[in-house]
Amino acid sequence: MKLKFIIITFLFSLSVCAQDKVFSSEEIAINDLIDGTLLTPLDHSKSVLAIIIAGSGPTNRDGNQNFLKNNSLKKLAEGLSNQGIATFRYDKRIVKQIRKGKVDKNMMFDDFVTDAISIIDHFKEKNSFSKIYIIGHSQGSLVGMLAAKARANGFISLAGAGQSIDAVILEQIEKTAPMYTEDSKKVFDILKQHKTTTDFPPALASIFDVSIQPFMSNWMKYNPQSLIKELDMPILLINGTKDLQVSVAEANLLKEASNNAELVIIENMNHILFTIEGDDLENSKSYNEAFRKINPEVIERIVNFIK
């Protein structure tokens, strides 16, 4: 009897494991700069592919950087692939450069767009998927808009800004450090002329360091509202009410600019797609709390939009 129980338990555990694993995982090198993970549903037959583009900073394919680990983009990818949508998420080029100790000091925002286009072209050449959707998170939303045009079948913006980056930063400075507003405007005026300057308050060095001014100048030339108007494809805009970095107002600007866009505001979702019931302290701490689950509504909304 005991042996029979062990055998039944073993077979049951195998059955559970088989049911849990609904996608395969494959590491793919797109080129010398870009590596990523492709998750493919096991029962797919030319399924849809969603390419996930990370936000600003040295963000890896899982949504983590340096000492902040939350696995938000990994959870997003797995959540979608569990629902029958193939996903590809990748390390930004700077991640690989940091690992090798060879960071390109002349890196521009446009380089991120080049990488996203390379990924789209790679999978279009493979012809393994019926459609390709772009999911851009935060800064990745703007990258995704530029890459998706005339290449993708649909675009999804997660916590994407509706204004150029200089306007977004100026709003943040006006709210948190209004005494530096006029100095910041002067710096941005110089950057718009594709020039650099050392004439800025030391307190703003993290934003205006001379080494990153060319990158900022390149980034701020793009207006998301103008770009989203040019996308002739279905568009889904998702923002959360607990987002500390990109307000709901930014999503409304994108919605107003596009007749093709559907807007979804998710209650209590923060910038990294987690549900936050408490205050800003809980919100900030969540950026380094990998035990948290991704907000289920964001998965549901994306799946419904794509399918």
pLDDT at 219 over 60: yes
Give per-residue pLDDT as tens, 28-60.
Answer: 999 999 999 999 998 766 789 999 999 999 999
Decide if 36 contacts 119 (C-beta within 8 A): yes
Give per-residue pLDDT as tens, 3-27.
Answer: 444 444 444 444 434 446 689 999 9
Question: With pLDDT > 90 as the criterion, what percentage of the chain qualifies?
Answer: 86
Give per-residue pLDDT as tens, 158-167.
Answer: 999 999 999 9
Question: With pLDDT > 70 as the criterion, what percentage of the chain qualifies?
Answer: 93
Give per-residue pLDDT as tens, 130-169.
Answer: 999 999 999 999 999 999 999 999 999 999 999 999 999 9
Higher pLDDT, 247 or 6: 247
b/e map 264-284, b = 16+ CB within 10 Å: bebeebbbbbbbbeeeeeebe
**Distances in Å between the alpha carbon of 275 and those of 79, 165, 251, 268, 288?**
15, 26, 18, 5, 14
Q: In angstroms, rounded to a whole number, what is the distance separating the alpha carbons of residues 86 and 132?
A: 9
Q: In angstroms, rounded to a whole number, what is the distance separating the alpha carbons of residues 211 and 106?
A: 9
In 134-259, which ranges are continuous DSSP H helix?
139-148, 165-176, 181-191, 205-208, 213-220, 224-229, 248-257
pLDDT of residue 47: 85
Mean pLDDT for 81-86 is: 95
Domains and CATH numbers, the chain: 22-164+223-306 (3.40.50.1820), 165-221 (no CATH)
pTM of the model: 0.91
Task: Convert 93-127 into a string of H (helix), E (strand) and C (coil).
Answer: HHHHHHHHCCCCCCCCHHHHHHHHHHHHHHHHHHC
**Distances in Å between the alpha carbon of 61 and those of 55, 155, 203, 251?**
10, 19, 31, 24
